[in-house]
Amino acid sequence: MVGLTALSFIALGQPEPQQTMQGQTKETQATVPAKETKMNPPQEQSMKAIRVHEFGGPEVLRLEEVPTPRPGRGQVLVRMHAIGVNPVETYIRTGTYAYKPTLPYTPGNEGAGVVEEIGSDVNEVKPGDRVYTARSVSGTYAEFALCTTEQVHPLPANVSFAQGAAMGTAYATAYRGLIQRGDAKPGETVLVHGASGGVGTAAVQLARARGLRVFGTAGSDKGRKLAREQGAQEVFDHLAPDHFEQIMKATGGRGVDVIVEMLANVNLGKDLTILAKGGRVVVIGSRGRVEIDPRDTMQRDADIRGMGMPNTPPAELASIHAALVAGLENGTLHPVIGKEFPLAEAAHAHRAVMEPGAFGKIVLVPSM
């Protein structure tokens, strides 16, 4: 396993456009076409995209033909080869999430592909460059996605587009949670509570590369095997009622220093009882309410630290992606793709991402 000192370096921050909760900018596809654009092959006038006209179940995700957006100043049009699917896109689709987009909208926060066209004042990338996208202006569940230059990052040649589609949300979240919010240090013990999914597998790889002792959990044998293969030294079944006791025992009674938590509404109360002194729980995922005993934090000088990716300051976001690109380049990070669906089957992908038995990342492929 390669040491990942690169994962802590700071990249230059650039001002970022205002972000919504979903990570799309508040601009829409109605961007003024650029006077000067540089194109790769002649671009199609229309494209296939998933559109949501009403909030509801997965069936509201409809494949439609829509105008292909054109990049304005400081913008990039990316031909999407793979698109990451995340639980948050299912919450938004129901219309019950804190962030509610204006209808109709194109879902999607991330993906990977090739720069098709650039607007004026774009010097960071050129047509033909392989990139991954983290957020977008127009939504990524489409053949093309409009992005700002801050939203695209180089995709090294050794990394597939499907793998690149895991970077913008899952890996960025894992890095933010583990390193920036959790302040996980080499030599500490981390519990990745939910180590079989998109964020969890990323957190295991990042933590192991950073020199932590890594514990991971999953609800299936397949998921636990995956967590172990990604670098977890000890694995546990989060469906086993006594798994907290097992984890405590594995630390010799000392407790874990950091927990990155994928399902806080189920685990937070018990998490606090297995922290070492000065321990931190980073709440990455939660789907409801939970009761805790505050004394469990007092006894340990423990912290509960929430995180939401849209809150990440621009300079810290740039730092995250600089580190992730370095990790891809040196082979430390190797996203696991569990399932691929054609773009037209986005509804199936939304059902799959909410099912138990996670196995890495789920992606949509426009050309399938």
Paired strand residues for 115: 78
Q: 99: helix, coil or strand?
A: coil
Least Å from the CB of residue 199 to ligand NAP: 3
In terms of phi and psi (left: phi > 0; alpha: psi -120 to 50; beta: otherwise), the region of 23 is left
Distance CA 27, CA 66 (A): 17
Binding letters toward ligand NAP, positions 306-325, x by CB under 6 A: -xxx----------------
Contact between 119 and ligand NAP per CB under 6 A:
no
Return the range that interacts with ligand NAP (CB under 6 A); candidates 39-47, 83-91, 207-215, 247-255: 83-91
Q: Are 107 and 139 in contact (CB under 8 A)?
A: yes
Helix locations, the chain, DSSP H: 87-94, 161-164, 172-175, 198-209, 221-229, 243-250, 264-271, 295-298, 314-329, 346-353
Indicate which single residue of 77, 78, 88, 184 sits in contact with ligand NAP (rule: CB under 6 A). 88
Least Å from the CB of residue 100 to ligand NAP: 16
Torsion angle defined by CA atoms of residues 74, 80, 84 and 88, in that order, rounded to the nearest 10 degrees: 50
Indicate which single residue of 122, 358, 363, 364 sits in contact with ligand NAP (rule: CB under 6 A). 358
Contact between 199 and ligand NAP per CB under 6 A:
yes
Indicate which single residue of 72, 139, 168, 200 sits in contact with ligand NAP (rule: CB under 6 A). 200
Contact between 266 and ligand NAP per CB under 6 A:
yes
Q: Which residue type is seen at 36? A: E
Distance CA 209, CA 232 (A): 11
Give the total of residues touching ligand NAP (CB under 6 A): 32
Q: Which residue's CB comes closest to ligand NAP?
A: 197
Residue 101 or 194 with smaller CB distance to ligand NAP: 194
Indicate which single residue of 136, 138, 140, 173 sits in contact with ligand NAP (rule: CB under 6 A). 173
Contact between 216 and ligand NAP per CB under 6 A:
no
Choose among 211, 219, 229: nearest CA to 262.
219
Residues numbered 228-247 forming contacts with ligand NAP, rule: CB under 6 A:
238
Contact between 284 and ligand NAP per CB under 6 A:
yes
Distance CA 260, CA 253 (A): 19
Contact between 170 and ligand NAP per CB under 6 A:
yes
Residue 69 or 360 with smaller CB distance to ligand NAP: 360
- Tokens (6 digits) for 131: 């990139």
Contact between 194 and ligand NAP per CB under 6 A:
yes
Distance CA 180, CA 157 (A): 28
Q: 347: helix, coil or strand?
A: helix
- For binding to ligand NAP (CB under 6 A), which residues are involved? 86-88, 169-170, 173, 193-194, 196-200, 217-220, 223, 238, 262-263, 266-267, 284-285, 307-309, 353, 356-358
